[in-house]
Amino acid sequence: MSKKSLIILKFFIFFTLLGMVAFTHSFPETALAPLKKVAETVAQKVEPSPTPFPFQEMTIPYLRSRSFTSSLGKLQQYQSTGTYTSYITKYDSDGLTINALLTIPKGEVPPNGFPAVVFIHGYIPPESYRTTERYDSHIDYLARSGIVVLKIDLRGHGDSEGVASGAYYSGNYVIDTLNAYAALETQEYVDSTNIGLWGHSMAGNVVLRAVAAKKNIAKAVIWAGAVYTYDDFAEYRISDASYSPPETNSVRSREREQFRDMYGSYTTDSWFWQQVPATNYLDEVTTAIQVHHAVNDDVVSIEYSRGLAEILKKTTIPFELYEYQSGGHNITGTAFTQAMQRTTDFFIE
């Protein structure tokens, strides 16, 4: 490189860095006010910066600002029982093909269509995830009760395209969920006014953030969910790897490193982090919410659900919290039957 070219390059780098500094200090003063803790964060709504910024897709204002459209692909029959038929299918989520298991009750379709649920799985190592494994008892219970179930394989899991990004430091799983919701809305056998969300464990975060983004989803059920205020994550942690990308996932690991370099760990003083928790954007939400959690859960502390309940009490959102003395993280045994019956009744009402 010539001496003249080197000088030009140095000037280019200098002014580029100068512009970045100006960018990071261009946010309005109102966005810098620290949020109050936990329950007091209700109805606090941080306005987004008018200028796009890195990792903006993680924030609730971004998710609220965009639209979601999708449709289901060809249905390949997987199994049939006396009360329902299950199919392997796919749908589009922002250009990625996402795999799903669709279960449709048999019998006459109600005049307004069947109630339906987008079913979001909890943390399962992406490399060992299989579409037709796990949660079969949950799907069976819902479908036998006359509910359409679309169990989605979040991106990077099973045959779904894309990178498994994790729930807490990305908006990708929320996007996959809301595109699945949009795909169900187009089905003639589905009551488009009665489509709900069901999520387990890490999907509790996905469900609540999806609810905050769409605001008018009919119903949402969370089993043993985690990470709502992000203060709770710092206090209770989680005894699985759902918050950390796999070591083999070099793409996501590099993104996470870039993210941490730019915004650091969660703090209520950060203009960026203020825009991430769903609990800061509940003032316009009309979704009815039902939460289930076992006291003896040794993976996700029940205090996550108790903290969420305290927040929801300060809103106009209808909600129910059910605690079970046994059942563990997956709410098994007699607790499972109780929780599934309550869940089913909730979605059918």
- For 163-219, the pLDDT digits (tens) are 998 999 999 999 999 999 999 999 999 999 999 999 999 999 999 999 999 999 999
Q: Is residue 79 over pLDDT 60?
A: yes
Q: How confident is the model at residue 47 (pLDDT cuts 50, 70, 90)?
A: low
pLDDT at 8: 41
Q: Does domain 44-348 have CATH number 3.40.50.1820?
A: yes
pLDDT at 236: 96
CA distances, 64 to each of 120, 132, 227, 341 (Å): 20, 32, 20, 32
Q: Is residue 240 over pLDDT 60?
A: yes
Q: Name the region of 55 (left: φ>0; alpha: ψ -120 to 50; beta: rest).
A: left
pLDDT at 322: 98
Q: Which residue has the higher pLDDT, 184 or 47?
A: 184
CA distances, 321 to each of 76, 180, 209, 311, 343 (Å): 37, 26, 18, 12, 11
The first and second tokens of residue 122, run together, are 């909890």
From the list 89, 51, 52, the residue with the least C-alpha distance to 71 is 89
Q: Is residue 146 over pLDDT 70?
A: yes
pLDDT at 73: 97
Q: What's the mean per-residue pLDDT of the chain?
A: 87
pLDDT at 321: 98
pLDDT at 209: 98
pLDDT at 349: 87
Q: Which residue has the higher pLDDT, 1 or 312?
A: 312
| Cβ(120)–Cβ(129) below 8 Å | no
Per-residue pLDDT tens digits for 92-130: 999 999 999 999 999 999 999 999 999 999 999 998 999
Q: Is residue 255 over pLDDT 70?
A: yes
Q: Is residue 30 over pLDDT 80?
A: no
| Cβ(269)–Cβ(31) below 8 Å | no
pLDDT at 20: 40
pLDDT at 9: 43
Per-residue pLDDT tens digits for 309-341: 999 999 999 999 999 999 999 999 999 999 999
- Determine the average pLDDT of the residues in 43-67: 81
The domain segmentation of the chain, as residue ranges, is: 44-348
